[in-house]
Amino acid sequence: MNSSYVIGVDYGTDSVRSIIVDVQNGNEIAAAVFYYPRWKDGLYCNAAQSRFRQHPLDYIEGLETTIRQCLKTAGSAVAANIKAISVDTTGSSPVAVDETGTPLALTPAFHDNPNAMFVLWKDHTALKEAAAINATAAQFEENYLRFVGGIYSSEWFWAKLLHILRVDESVRKATYSWVEHCDWIPFLLSGGKQASQMKRGVCSAGHKALFAAEFGGLPPDAFFTAIDPLLQGFTQRLFTRTYTASEAAGHLCPEWAERLGLPESVVIGVGAFDAHMGAVGGQIEPYHLSKVMGTSTCDMLVAPLDEMKHKLVKGICGQVPGSVIPGMMGMEAGQSAFGDAYAWFSNVLAWPLQQLLPSSQLIDAATAAKLAEETSGRMITELAKQAAQISPEEHSELGIDWLNGRRTPDADQSLKGTLTGLNLATDAPRIFRTVAESTCFGAKAIVERFEREGVPVKGLIGIGGVAKKSAFIMQMMADVMNMPIRIHRSEQTCALGAAMFAATAAGLFTRVEDAMEAMGQGFEKTYQPNAQRAGIYESRYQKYKALGAFTAAITID
């Protein structure tokens, strides 16, 4: 009897990775990674303006390259038994499309226009638009923001759409609809030709686009028109129905079957956000916070629907039935900068390597470039090694982790990070330790909010690059939370989650929970809290909250 295989595709911030998985046991048969070339070159982005855009060609090229590499590695026998493909992506990362569902950046007139490209999750150019949405919502008797924590973020669907419509008339006139990355890739693979026929996932629709059964779908046109007349009638070109990631979006179309070397019988699953599928790949359990830790964090928590009746968690990124596991309430929180905070400090330290070393009179340019690359590559590892030797103290340096604004609790992307308590003995490892501690305190604030709103957090699950690579930060996380944190074994948890959903969409499992049980890889390590340090961190956490309140009070937009 031939085995069945599925492909999970995980679109991250810097790259896309695909894996082929054996449905019977979850074993990874092949994997491939593609780094977006245009993104790597810094095209279409301006960090000073918080503008981060990605060209759809990066996504298309990465999709074809990684899947073909996986199939080449796995061999023809495996390729002949691929049953399904599912994808996860960053979010909210939407794009303007024409009536055929084609992103405008793929048309000649808009090929190099950043406003016609995918607006990446970390893009914060829509601050004013988010403020307008929040101000307008406060004027309505019906609370249309109640299922997204009560505050609409500049990182999300409607704020980004309104910003693009306001700033670019040519894109506005050419835009038929507005589509999340996780919804567009399945549409592309299944050969969609009409944006109106695109199957939208409940994950993106509920957490970012205000879709809810209680509203009969999207909020009424009167709500959006009150925000800005430019949004008048736009809901008519969006969607009235959503689908869970356990459902099929269609089958592989002839064009992509030929491009990938796969049969047209391959099922294409409905897409979802990376953290949501990653939580499934990481074998999430009810009331256990699944922390996907990379450049940012996305924290997922699931609970039985009947236990969430009349509970609304303020200040998170939404609570949506079926957004993680069908039949359960999916709740999302997170931090806008996590790994990005460590990378920021590393880049600060690397400034002389980048700016002064190339013009050195002592070594040639090629050697200078290699030295800079080697030193930069070791920077965070060595900083963490030395920072781990520093014990927490009541009055040592203190920081706030809002280097890319605050996602939760209580979204406010205008906020800034801070460092305080510095003295002449403060060196690089101490500052790095302070930055790391601040990200752990930010994570604690999320747990505190869930529990304050009546949703217990019974355990922590760590997945993603930081969870796997940094014992220093994970131990600090356990100490700060005063709670064990289990680290999932899989190197590609989000892609594995996508594979689990692919298997379910293809009918190989009745429920995604069954796919989790059969294909899950288990946990490789548990970090236990240090009771002595937990007490010190609790005291310092109270100071973190006070410093955060002060920082918020003096932040100037």
Asked if residue 333 belongs to a domain, the reply is no
Asked if residue 315 belongs to a domain, the reply is no
N- to C-terminal Cα separation, the chain: 63
Q: In the chain, what percentage of residues exceed pLDDT 70?
A: 99
Q: What is the CATH number of the domain that holds 161?
A: 3.30.420.40
Which of 252-255's residues contact partners 24+ apart within 8 Å by CB, and which partners?
252/85, 252/189, 252/190, 253/189, 253/190, 253/191, 254/191, 255/191
Asked if residue 415 belongs to a domain, the reply is yes
Residue 1's pLDDT is: 39
- Are 105 and 132 contained in the same domain? yes
- Three-state SS string over 110-152 comes to HCCCHHHCEECCCCCCCHHHHHHHHHHHCCCCCCCCHHHCCCC
Domain limits for position 443:
339-489+524-554
- Are 404 and 507 contained in the same domain? no
- Are 465 and 496 contained in the same domain? no
Asked if residue 92 belongs to a domain, the reply is yes
Asked if residue 516 belongs to a domain, the reply is yes
Residue 2's pLDDT is: 65
| pLDDT, tens digit (0-9, with 9 covering 90-100), for 188-205 | 999 999 999 999 999 999
- Are 190 and 223 contained in the same domain? yes
- Are 198 and 168 contained in the same domain? yes
Give the span between the Cα atoms of 183 and 120, in whole angstroms: 14
- Are 59 and 11 contained in the same domain? yes
- Are 514 and 430 contained in the same domain? no
Average model confidence (pLDDT) across the chain: 96
Q: Is the pLDDT of residue 347 over 50?
A: yes
Give the span between the Cα atoms of 421 and 65, in whole angstroms: 49
Asked if residue 292 belongs to a domain, the reply is no
- Are 346 and 481 contained in the same domain? yes
| Strand locations in 193-307 (E) | 200-201, 242-243, 248-251, 267-269, 272-273, 288-293, 297-304
pLDDT band at 336 (very low <50, low <70, confident <90, very high): very high
Asked if residue 475 belongs to a domain, the reply is yes
Residue 310's pLDDT is: 87
- Are 423 and 475 contained in the same domain? yes
- Are 25 and 90 contained in the same domain? yes
Q: Is 420 helix (H, G, I), strand (E, B) or coil?
A: strand
DSSP element (H, E) containing 180: strand 177-180
**Contact (Cβ atoms closer than 8 angstroms) between residue 492 and residue 257:** no
Q: How many domains does the chain have?
A: 2
- Are 235 and 149 contained in the same domain? yes
Asked if residue 361 belongs to a domain, the reply is yes
| pLDDT, tens digit (0-9, with 9 covering 90-100), for 228-279 | 999 999 999 999 999 999 999 999 999 999 999 999 999 999 999 999 999 9
Q: What is the mean pLDDT of residues 153-182?
A: 98
- Are 513 and 367 contained in the same domain? no
Q: What is the mean pLDDT of residues 504-533?
A: 97
